[in-house]
Structure 1
Amino acid sequence: MKFVKFAVLALAVLITSGCAGGLNSMQEREYKAFENEGVLIEEKTPMVGAVLGILPGFGSFYAREPGYGVVNLLFWPISVLWDPVSGYSGSKSINYDTTKSYLRKEKNKELVILEDLLVSKQIDSTRYLLEKRKIEQKYEY
């Protein structure tokens, strides 16, 4: 009976915590491109997340997945089989999202400056389109 209560509690925590998913194949390619171009923002170190996953739930906590951290804490030592992977992939997801957000903001800043130049008639529409294309290509990965 106690095990059933424990399992129900663990399942409830898991359901309310969201899904700790890694990057899909397209995101993995972008992540590698960010690394190759030197623009990846490493907010979390994936290897640290993996190593912390050996401790009860720490990999998930490190990857900002507290619900999974609690479940992994409750299922320790069995959770050592999957929590290092969660810590690693969760850290990469955080870095990916942080980098994408930063690049989007930088692109928008450049586009606003360019639009201001067009509105103030410092550049013509042809020059605007050429410069806009350069900015868009600069931020494609």
Structure 2
Amino acid sequence: MILSRSKGVVLSVVLSVLMISGCATPLSSGQKQEYRGYQAKGLAVEEKNPGAAAALGILPGFGSFYVREYGAGVVNLLLWPASILWDPMSGYQGAQSINYYATKQKIDQLKDKEITQLEDQLMMETIDNREYVSAKREIDNKYSAY
């Protein structure tokens, strides 16, 4: 009896750790606002659909699997149907997070490329410092969320 009880405690601890470590970290309010700004400028990337992630969360572990949270997906599969209480939200937040970071990466790449081209023009003396500063400001504004 004690042996089966300790197995239950160990299993509970392992499942809890897996569930906590696999859950998607929601975006902060500042990150959400920044992403909305990128959406307004047409710069946002949507790798994962948050609505689809939430809908898939109703199925056993599918919301977590969809947003690449495989450990959480397995735990949610094992804890289904109780996981219906949290997996849709976890999937939604995971999709938002994936989209935010994909957008940040895309914007950084595009901005770096344009600034490198601008710096090359400055080095080749096809533009002067004043033109460089003005053009760099335009690039910064173009890739800003606000």
TM-score, normalised on structure 2?
Answer: 0.89
1:126 and 1:78 mapped to 2: Cα distance?
62
AA matched with 1:138: K
Partner of 1:9: 14
Q: Is 1:114 equivalent to 2:123 in the alignment?
A: no
How many residue pairs get aligned? The number is 140
Give the CA deviation at 1:69.
1.1
Structure 1 segments unaligned to the other structure (5+ residues): none
Structure 2 segments unaligned to the other structure (5+ residues): none
RMSD, aligned α-carbons: 1.4
TM-score, normalised on structure 1?
Answer: 0.92
Q: Which of 81, 84, 87 pairs up with 1:83?
A: 87
Moved more, 27-36 or 111-120: 27-36
- Runs of 4+ aligned structure 1 residues displaced above 3 Å come to none
1:19 and 1:49 mapped to 2: Cα distance?
13
Contact 2:23 2:90 in 1 (8 A): no
AA matched with 1:5: V
Please identify the structure whose Cα radius of gyration is greater.
Answer: 2
Q: Percent identity?
A: 51
CA offsets per residue over residues 13-47 of structure 1, 9 Å max, x none? 235x4541111000110121122222211110111
Q: Does the residue aligned with 2:107 lie in a helix, a strand or coil?
A: helix
Aligned runs of 1:1-141 on 2, under 5 Å?
Answer: 1=5, 2-14=7-19, 17-141=21-145
Moved more, 74-83 or 30-39: 30-39
2:60 and 2:36 mapped to 1: Cα distance?
30
CA offsets per residue over residues 81-108 of structure 1, 9 Å max, x none? 0000011110011011101100110000
AA matched with 2:31: Q
2:19 and 2:85 mapped to 1: Cα distance?
17
